[in-house]
Amino acid sequence: MAAITATALEKSFGTIAAVRRIDLSIEPGEIFGLIGPDGAGKTSTFQMLAGVMEPTSGEAAIFGRAPRDARAVTGYLTQAFSLYPDLTVDENISYTAALRRVPPATTADRASRYLSRFGLASFTSRLAGQLSGGMKQKLALACALVAGPRVLLLDEPTTGVDPVSRREFWSVLAELVADGLTIVVATPDLAEAERCHRIALMHLGEIKETGTPSEIRAGLGARRLELRTPNLSEAEARLSPVSSDGALLDVQRVGDRIDVLVRDGREGRRLVESTMHAASLPITELHEEEPLLENAFVATLRRLGHEAAEPSWPFQHARPTPAGDVALAAHALTKRFESFTAVRDVTMSVRYGEVYGLIGANGAGKTTLIKMLCGLVAPSEGRVELAGSHEGIRSSAVRQRIGYMSQRFSLYDELTVAENLDFFAGVYGVPAEERPPKRRWVLEFAGLEGRSDQLTGSLPGGWKQRVAFGAAIVHEPSVLFLDEPTSGVDPLARRSFWHLINRLADAGTAILVTTHYLEEAEQCHRLGFLVAGDLVVEDTPTGMRRRQPGARSLEDVFIAVVTARDHQAAGTEALA
């Protein structure tokens, strides 16, 4: 018998369909991934499977029983973790256990087992609100496990959790499944999807494809070529027309390389080589790889007729500074908060025309560093250079040249899209005659043509993010700060985001991206890994990979760097 089934399961909120007639059949002992961007309907699906929300129509079953009647065997980890921040670790567990009528002796037994397995055994009397993201996640998992469930529903369990904790979490999941548990996990992260036994790709409430990750990749019927060359934008421009006549399936710039999807490896290679040769562009490296899940997801969406617009940006102003000059620099920056050093002696620079990725876990000091770089916080030691100024980096002339967009960037929810755009254009002093073409551009980029009168608050996350991005660049800043710009958006939108970011860089904009998503790191031209306030290593994505022999992904490299650092810190502590 299947552990979990869904038949034509559907959920609508008023006129909005969140989940559209999905079918699922998940076997016992499986890790099943529900993969999709924000707003794909993952959470609604989970709430129906957990028995906390009635479907509009269709049916779901957990071991043959209605989800509501099967709650005793279901563990549900919500996105917010649903912990009580003002209760201790122990109190959270015993409360959840008491709700589920677990006998106290069993609770104590299981709690001690899971807490020691998760490395929380010495924190039992700490308040849940004072735990780190990774620890909260493990505590929430322990709470879900204490009732001895047969099915675990994990809704984006690793969002906001650093890569090291994330990896640990997945190894725990593997153990639990080995014990016979069935796990359904939702994630927007395609790298995590690779760790699932089977996945379903979800988009706008529908399941587009189901299968093992390798089946899905194989279903694409394509090979991926990684091309490295000094002049990426020129190479992309040359290869793209070839791709549109069907010989190359897809051409995409990814950080310091170009990915080319081809039907056949050898033929594709030849075609790429001849095109590059014809344009007398040198090839540093060209080799064949497995396609990524992202390639498959994008291909599926395209096959179904989805496409994200990539309108050309109506640039009005030439760049005053040549590409290659330093746009933004930190010289031996340190920031201390009382006894705590958030950023220690960081020296780095971002040039015009460069996309620099500052990568670090939550709490590594990224935000403090950014705040110093844009002048919001004064450094304890060191110097900042911003858009050619050392002094007065908060002056309005300097600020006029800066753009900032965060994942939680505040558009005004109660204004319409057009009003928001007008407001930001007004704040940044964009001349009135430039506003209409720019507004049209943002609407096209966000896929919101003709919907400019819609209230911003009613837009799904991915759309809002694109409007926010548009609002951040209406004044054509020459230095752009982006905080997790593409987390949670669908793969098509992500592509158009990065396409645009690269175009802005080509036009001479200096771009600093901060993120803990290694998928985003992949897209940067140069990376800096920030660990506990230290800038540990700087390199190109390709260079980073080479530093760590045997590393398959940037995540492997990052984890190796962090682990080495921890050992070093532990060693210093032991000496002291």
Residues that bind other proteins (CB under 8 A): 13, 47, 50-54, 68, 71-72, 74-76, 78-80, 82-87, 91, 94-96, 98-101, 127, 143, 147
First-to-last alpha carbon distance for the chain, in angstroms, is 59
Nearest partner of 545 among 254, 231, 343, 168, judged by Cα: 254
- Scored b (16 or more CB within 10 A) or e, 341-363 reads bbbbebebbbbbbbbbbbbbbee
Q: Minimum Å distance from CB 98 to other proteins?
A: 3
Task: Give the nearer residue to other proteins in terms of CB position, either 53 or 560.
Answer: 53
Alpha helices in 25-153 (DSSP H): 42-49, 89-99, 104-117, 133-145
Q: Minimum Å distance from CB 162 to other proteins?
A: 22
Q: Minimum Å distance from CB 110 to other proteins?
A: 15
Task: Give the nearer residue to other proteins in terms of CB position, either 83 or 511.
Answer: 83
Which residues does residue 206 pair with via DSSP β-bridges, in sequence order? 203
Task: Give the nearer residue to other proteins in terms of CB position, either 47 or 158.
Answer: 47
Q: Minimum Å distance from CB 99 to other proteins?
A: 4
Residue 212 CA, chain-centre distance (Å), reads 22
Q: Residue 192, SS3?
A: helix
Q: List, in order, residues 6 or more apart from 418 with CB less than 8 Å away.
A: 439, 452, 453
Nearest partner of 111 among 143, 88, 151, judged by Cα: 143
**Using an 8 Å Cβ cutoff, are 498 and 253 in contact?**
yes
CA distances from 562 to 261, 370, 510, 537 (A): 33, 21, 27, 11
For residue 203, with 0-12 CB atoms within 10 Å meaning exposed, 13-18 middle and 19 or more buried, which class applies? buried
Q: Minimum Å distance from CB 139 to other proteins?
A: 12
Task: Give the nearer residue to other proteins in terms of CB position, either 50 or 472.
Answer: 50
Nearest partner of 452 among 406, 417, 410, judged by Cα: 417
HEC readout, 333-349:
EEEEECCEEEEEEEEEE
Q: Minimum Å distance from CB 201 to other proteins?
A: 25
Task: Give the nearer residue to other proteins in terms of CB position, either 78 or 515.
Answer: 78
Longest dimension (CA), the chain: 75
Task: Give the nearer residue to other proteins in terms of CB position, either 91 or 506.
Answer: 91
Which residues does residue 127 pair with via DSSP β-bridges, in sequence order? 88
Q: Minimum Å distance from CB 54 to other proteins?
A: 6
Task: Give the nearer residue to other proteins in terms of CB position, either 98 or 304.
Answer: 98
Q: Minimum Å distance from CB 84 to other proteins?
A: 6
Structure tokens at 278: 């014809």
Q: Minimum Å distance from CB 264 to other proteins?
A: 50
Please spell the DSSP secondary structure of 516-569, one letter per residue.
Answer: S-HHHHTT-SEEEEEETTEEEEEE-HHHHHHHSTT--SHHHHHHHHHHHHHHHH
Task: Give the nearer residue to other proteins in terms of CB position, either 79 or 406.
Answer: 79
Q: Minimum Å distance from CB 95 to other proteins?
A: 5
Q: Minimum Å distance from CB 81 to other proteins?
A: 9
Task: Give the nearer residue to other proteins in terms of CB position, either 45 or 252.
Answer: 45
Task: Give the nearer residue to other proteins in terms of CB position, either 94 or 187.
Answer: 94
Residue 121 CA, chain-centre distance (Å), reads 31
Task: Give the nearer residue to other proteins in terms of CB position, either 50 or 193.
Answer: 50
d(CA 231, CA 329): 24
**Using an 8 Å Cβ cutoff, are 191 and 518 in contact?**
yes
Task: Give the nearer residue to other proteins in terms of CB position, either 50 or 492.
Answer: 50
Structure tokens at 246: 């069907």
Q: Minimum Å distance from CB 97 to other proteins?
A: 8
Place of tokens 């396409």: 499
Q: Minimum Å distance from CB 206 to other proteins?
A: 20
Task: Give the nearer residue to other proteins in terms of CB position, either 45 or 74.
Answer: 74
